[in-house]
Amino acid sequence: MKSLPHARIARFATKAMAGLAAFTLAISASAQKFENLALTPPMGWNSWNTFESAIDEDLIKETAQAMIDSGMRDAGYVYIVIDDCWSLRERDAEGNLVADPEKFPSGMKALADYLHERGFKLGMYADAGKTTCAGYPGSQGHEYQDARTFAAWGVDYLKYDWCATGTRDPIEAYTTMRDALYAAGRPIVFSICEWGDNDPWLWAQDIGHLWRISGDIYDCWDCEQEWSRGFKVILDRYHELKPSVVGRDGLGVYSGPDGWNDLDMLEVGNPGLSVAESRSHFTLWALIGSPLMAGNDVRSMSPEITEILTHPDVIAINQDPDGVAAWRFGIVPGKHQTWIKPLSDGDWAVCVLNTSDQEQRIEIEWHRMERALSGEFEIHDVWNDVELGDTDTPLTAKIGSHDVLLMRLSPKR
């Protein structure tokens, strides 16, 4: 399913985008997105990365139970998102979307009730074009009707994809669905899945709560095909789209409470990643403030993967109320990268990612980071839960291949 042909649209010039944005604002002055629904990056689980079209009601209920049993729900993963392939191939005689009765015999309203009773929220998937990426009915021309359907079912989150959109203007398309959701009256987190083709970070803040910055993720370190790529490729793209070593002009400036750069659903725990790679992937997504949407089979995950996904101190970095995104502070190409993020209590998260195929011995001379870190700090190794001294002396450490050293620095008293 990941190799499905995707309708691509032409890139717009930034100037034209600015003009369109002004026009859109003018015609929709009375409409808005539901505010304050995503003050920290949304957390949950999405069916696509592991199950693609093999979804049904039993899977969703078993996943919910596993998320309760593993501690994921209580760690903050509350959105359970049913991705593509949930509907019938045709709308009904009145033009309504219909959940496939073989996959979802109780219907979506009953499933939403089931999830709500257990402390979850229901997310669903639709598409701004004629069809979804897997060929199911798209919402183009049915936006208000579909928004009413989702609201009536008790949906809390909508991922809105970009397949089969032809020459449609993305700002118009996503604004139309935003307005339709608002008119339907049920607060719904709006997830813009336009793959970063038209620089959504420049226009999406007033429309949705998160926006993808790339095509689809895949469970590998740095493999790359036309429509799927490893998390290291997305990480590099995130930096290269708007490079910054001081954090003031990188892509992160567009991201924050109620509007997040979305680096795509997690591949943590999926077979193509080692445990170290899952840890690195999770750490970087947490630091950058990406939504944390698990994409593995949580019914059968190992204790190490459960520990990664539920680590309270890493999640706390992602959910920090200030929502400042990490930026790449330094790189030794082919060896390691350093990412840093200021936290609301005056602490800093500092992460060194070993990008090489070998274990690396690193040395951090803290005075070289004075541009960002002023003062003296005590150092806590977050994953290993040990103290590493303070920033008065250089730090040496060994980091395994594709693994991370994640530190939380607290001002010395």
Annotated catalytic sites, by residue? 161, 216
Q: Which stretch binds ligand GLA (CB under 6 A): 36-44, 125-133, 142-150, 338-346?
A: 125-133
Helix (H, G, I), strand (E, B) or coil at 291: coil
161 is a site residue for ligand GLA (CB under 6 A) = yes
Compute the distance between CA of residue 143 and CA of residue 174 in angstroms, rounded to an integer: 10
- The contact mask relative to ligand GLA for 30-69 (x = CB under 6 A, - = no) is ------------------x---------------------
Compute the distance between CA of residue 351 and CA of residue 240 in angstroms, rounded to an integer: 18
Q: In this structure, what token pair is assigned to residue 297? A: 């089979």
Helices (H), 271-344: 275-288, 303-309, 312-318
Q: How many CB atoms lie within 10 A of CB 79?
A: 23
277 is a site residue for ligand GLA (CB under 6 A) = no
Q: Which is nearer to ligand GLA, 50 or 337 (CB)?
A: 50
- The contact mask relative to ligand GLA for 222-261 (x = CB under 6 A, - = no) is ----------------------------------------
Q: Which stretch binds ligand GLA (CB under 6 A): 31-39, 126-134, 203-211, 388-396?
A: 126-134
Q: Please name the residue that has the structure tokens 């049920």.
A: 186
Q: In this structure, what token pair is assigned to residue 393? A: 């002396």
- Interface residue with ligand GLA, options 31, 51, 83, 391 (CB under 6 A): 83
Single-letter amino acid, residue 42 = P
Closest Cα to residue 182, out of 342, 75, 63, 33? 33
Total residue length of the chain = 413
Helix (H, G, I), strand (E, B) or coil at 13: coil
Q: Which stretch binds ligand GLA (CB under 6 A): 71-79, 127-135, 200-208, 393-401?
A: 127-135
Closest Cα to residue 9, out of 169, 134, 174, 231? 169
Q: Which is nearer to ligand GLA, 84 or 199 (CB)?
A: 84
Least distance in Å: CB of 125 to ligand GLA?
6
Q: Which stretch binds ligand GLA (CB under 6 A): 70-78, 111-119, 128-136, 341-349?
A: 128-136
- The contact mask relative to ligand GLA for 163-202 (x = CB under 6 A, - = no) is ------------------------------x---------
CB contact set of 300 (below 8 Å; sequence gap of 6+): none
Q: Which is nearer to ligand GLA, 174 or 182 (CB)?
A: 174
DSSP state of 87: B
Q: How many CB atoms lie within 10 A of CB 172?
A: 14
Least distance in Å: CB of 170 to ligand GLA?
14
84 is a site residue for ligand GLA (CB under 6 A) = yes
Interface positions with ligand GLA (CB under 6 A): 48, 83-84, 125, 132-134, 161, 193, 216
